[in-house]
Amino acid sequence: MDFASLGLSENIVKAVTEAGYTEPTAVQQAAIPAALAGKDLIVSSQTGSGKTAAFMLPSLQRLTLEPTIKARGPRVLVLTPTRELAVQVTDACKGYGKNLRYAKAVSVVGGMPYPVQNKLLSSPYEILVATPGRLMDQMNSGRIDFGRLEILILDEADRMLDMGFVDDIEAIVAKLP
Ligand code: AMP
């Protein structure tokens, strides 16, 4: 099986080919067609199995379509338990989405100076990768418009729950369309 037969567009297939991937991993083969079909998924897969691309490639594919709602904020929101993971996911997005016109990824994580972060959030972007605490701060100060959000990803959801983020996650989810 190859990436094109999963239903991904040429620009995305080109980016993964350039990254040296020759075929989708097992989790990618299982998750990508279901995500492209618009299903809600719970995916359990080991570190190193290619799970970031399993959720990011179908999300990027969605960004090749015009948004149905006009708004400024993210179309894809990824929550991660740690800054380090947020940075990794943002970098992966940039790589997989490098041939797409509207797939800008920004990250909002604790420890980043607010002026830098506020500036990032004030220019147009499609993908927001965030840790729950800092995202709550930015939401409370009215800096994020979720009017056109289409996809929510909880990366390493089990770890986020272990780290005590359940209340933050519930508060965030309650404010999403
Ligand atoms: P992850 O499980 O998302 O942390 O990915 C682990 C590593 O596998 C990363 O370095 C990816 O770049 C790489 N990877 C993801 N998908 C593939 C693939 N289909 N073929 C080869 N390497 C991959």
Ligand 1 centre from 50 Cα, in Å?
Answer: 4
Query: What's the domain count of the chain?
Result: 1
Exposure string of 128-150, with b = 16+ CB inside 10 Å and e = fewer, is bbbbbebbbebbeeebbebebbb
Q: Does residue 25 have its Cβ closer than 6 Å to ligand 1?
A: yes
Cβ contact 121:143 at 8 Å? yes
Is residue 58 in contact with ligand 1, taking CB distance under 6 Å?
no
The chain-wide mean pLDDT, for the chain, equals 96
Ligand 1 centroid distance, CA of 77 (Å): 21
pLDDT in tens, 104-136: 999 999 999 999 999 999 999 999 999 999 999
Task: Say if residue 71's pLDDT is above 90.
Answer: no
Give pLDDT, residue 37. Answer: 97
Q: What is the CATH number of the domain that holds 135?
A: 3.40.50.300
User: What percent of the chain is modeled with pLDDT above 90?
Assistant: 95
Rounded to whole angstroms, the Cα distance separating 56 from 50 reads 10
| Cβ–ligand 1 contact at 146 (below 6 Å) | no
21 lines ligand 1 (CB under 6 A): yes
Cβ of residue 51 lying under 6 Å from some atom of ligand 1: yes
* Residue 47 clears pLDDT 90, i.e. is over it: no
- Ligand 1 contacts CB of residue 53 (under 6 A): yes
pLDDT (average), residues 162-175: 96
The CB of 29 under 6 Å from ligand 1? The reply is no
Contact of 100 with 126, CB cutoff 8 Å: no
- Mean pLDDT for 20-33 is 97
Q: Tell me the pairing of strands 127-130 and 151-154.
A: unpaired
Distance 146 CA to ligand 1 centre (A): 30
What per-residue string of b and e applies to 44-62 under the rule 16 or more CB within 10 Å gives b? Answer: eeeeeebbbbbbbbbbbbb
Amino acid code (one letter) for 39: K
In whole angstroms, give the CA distance from residue 5 to residue 162: 37
**Among protein residues, the one whose CA lies closest to atom 19 of ligand 1:** 24
Task: Provide the β-strand partners of residue 127.
Answer: 76, 105
Which residue would you say has higher pLDDT here, 176 or 71? 176
Residue 38 to residue 29: CA distance in whole angstroms: 15
Domain hosting residue 35, numbered range: 3-174
